[in-house]
Chain A
Amino acid sequence: MMEKLLEILEDIQPDADFENCETLIDDGILDSFAILSIVSELQDEFGITITPSEVIPENFNSAKALWAMVQRLQ
């Protein structure tokens, strides 16, 4: 399933290194448009609801953190 997540991420932002980067937000690699595109796809793909309180840097800084959030909300 982690592969599916990476696929979604690479579709939204093809030029980012999602496998290794752990500062996607801190280094401004993902802007707010990209963040919300990711949220929209994750909600549809995994049937979860992401609330504004989940949209914090800790949840979006790496693919690993995103995956942890998805699992938590499932």
Chain B
Amino acid sequence: MMSLISMEFLLLVLVAAAGYYLIPKKFQWVWLLVFSYIYYVTGGVKVTCFLVFTTVTTWMAGVLLEKVAQAEQDRFVCRRKKRQVLVTALLLNFGMLAVLKYSNFAIRTVNMVFGSSQGELDLLLPLGISFYTFQSMGYILDLYWERTKAEHNLFRFALFVSFFPQILQGPIGRFERLGTQLFASHSFDGRRIELSLLRILWGYFKKMVIADNAVIFVDAIFEDPTLYSGLAIAGALAYSIQLYCDFSGGMDVVIGIAGLFGIEMDENFKRPYFAVSITDFWHRWHITLGTWMKDYVFYPVSLSGWMRHFSKFAKKVFGKQTGRVLPICLANIIVFLVVGIWHGAAWKFIFYGMYNGLIIAFSGLMAPRYRKWKQALHISDNSKGFHLFQILRTFLLVNISWFFDRAYDVESAFRMMKYAVTRFDLSQILTIQIGEASGTTYTFIFLMVILLGCLAVFIVSLLMEQGRDLEGFYVKQHWILKCMLFAGLILLLPALGQPAGEAGGFIYAQF
């Protein structure tokens, strides 16, 4: 499938956007559907079949759910029938995702446990399958809980599942917000298009100039952690830079492209490295996955009948306060187990999920005590010092989690963590070779490019975190300054960025 960083893709966007405002408005959504399928089919006809399967089964289940709700008078029969439709739709779609994504992981695990040598299967993994499956199943669950209305037009629904800017890596949209915008007509708005183009360029800057240069250092360090044992901390930091700029840069591009069509997508990032706790981090990092998990896993699991029984039991045994929080902690750990598995079929991702889940559960249990300690020590949540302490503590905890995320396996993650505290030798970084051209000067220049790029991202993020209206500030500038900004960004990309072919695609497009 064509990369978001390729001339073909830019051409597709250009033609799609230009045509969108030239054709009659009532056909605008059809236009988007056609381009969405053109885009997806370039990835292969076979993978498109999976997309069509999810679209058709989800659409049918949706219409059926609505019919049952309207036709059935008996409340219990209605609930039973609705549940049957829901479970069928969930099993078909999550089942397909599970088979395609996790069969080989299951085979590997069985081989490891029983010492067998069952060969792995040669399975297709349609790009973006995790994203569009989650988006579609969110729609079905919303219908089941009667939070939204069913879409009767199959083709309109097909657009909701396949909208091309977001299909590969999100943001995961909700039907209520995204659907209505996709089907509405939009007039040409020069200001909106200008701001969207700027956002696309900013996204490409983060991805090509920062992430794709940082990846060279990340790969070198994580692929040979023993050779670069003095660089474990630098490796984690470089990965935190790479991952953020890769994913949030990708989101800037996606949200910018959707903006060209007048569609406002949900934000996926809100300056996550300014988070004051791991909970806060997940409110700022991959936000649409977090809210999906909250609405469709965390709340339903917490409010289920068996959790209510567990809550009563826990209150009796552990007392009111702990008993109340314990079931929520358990539900939270389940959520992060799912988040871990969602990230990939490997034990290190399960560790990654559990690490986050356990920290959040622990802070949930400790919250009343923390409050008392803070009172006793006269620490105010509003003090700047404490705020900074919380940010740095969270950043440290997040960086520890990146070892699990990026390291080859759990064992090397622990080894690198050991190196992080026992060995430290930053000078090793200059020995990392960049491509064919070797030499410390060349490596140094690369490092400087990354650091200056990060500085630019940091300044912009800090201003936004302080609540400054950067868009308003930009709009007020003289047009010559605006042109210079555009030209600067356009020139910087090929001059300092890695060409798309060299650095590969986006990390999250693999999910």
Contact = CB atoms under 8 A, between A and B. Distances in A.
Contacts of A36: 299, 302-303, 328, 331
B324 A50 contact: no
Contact of A52 (B145, B283, B325, B371): B145
A39 interface: yes
Interface in B338-393: 364, 367, 371
B303 A51 contact: yes
Contacts of A43: 308
Interface in A30-72: 31-33, 36-37, 39-41, 43-44, 50-53, 55-56
Interface in B319-340: 324-325, 327-328, 331-332
25 contacts: A14-B371, A15-B371, A28-B283, A32-B294, A32-B298, A33-B279, A33-B325, A33-B328, A33-B332, A33-B367, A36-B328, A36-B331, A37-B325, A40-B311, A40-B328, A43-B308, A44-B312, A44-B315, A50-B303, A52-B295, A52-B299, A52-B303, A53-B145, A55-B299, A55-B303
A50 B295 CA distance: 14
Given A37-B325, A40-B311, A31 B279 contact: yes
Contacts of A52: 145, 295, 299-300, 303
Given A33-B367, A36-B302, A44-B312, 13 more contacts: A40-B308, A40-B324, A40-B328, A41-B324, A43-B308, A44-B315, A50-B303, A51-B303, A52-B145, A52-B300, A53-B146, A53-B147, A56-B147
Listed residue (A37, A51, A52, A56) with the most chain B CB atoms within 10 angstroms of its CB: A52
Nearest to B367: A33
Size bracket, chain A contacts:
10 to 19
Nearest to B327: A40
Contacts of B328: 33, 36-37, 40
B291 to A, nearest CB: 10
Interface string B476-508: 000000000000000000000000000000000
A55 B304 CA distance: 13
A57 to B, nearest CB: 11
Contacts of B294: 32
B441 to A, nearest CB: 48
Interface string B138-151: 00000001110000
Nearest to A56: B147
Interface string A1-43: 0000000000000110000000000001001110011011101
Contacts of B371: 14-15
B145 A51 contact: yes
4 smallest CB-CB distances across A and B, nearest first, come from: A53-B145, A36-B328, A52-B300, A52-B299
B148 to A, nearest CB: 11
Interface in B260-305: 279, 283, 294-295, 298-300, 302-303
A28 B283 CA distance: 10
Contacts of B283: 28
Nearest to B331: A36
Given A39-B303, A43-B308, A52-B299, A33 B145 contact: no
Contacts of B311: 40
A32 B364 CA distance: 10
Nearest to B365: A33
A32 B352 CA distance: 21
Nearest to A33: B364
A18 to B, nearest CB: 16
Contacts of A33: 279, 325, 328, 332, 364, 367
A52 B294 CA distance: 10
Contacts of A40: 308, 311, 324, 327-328
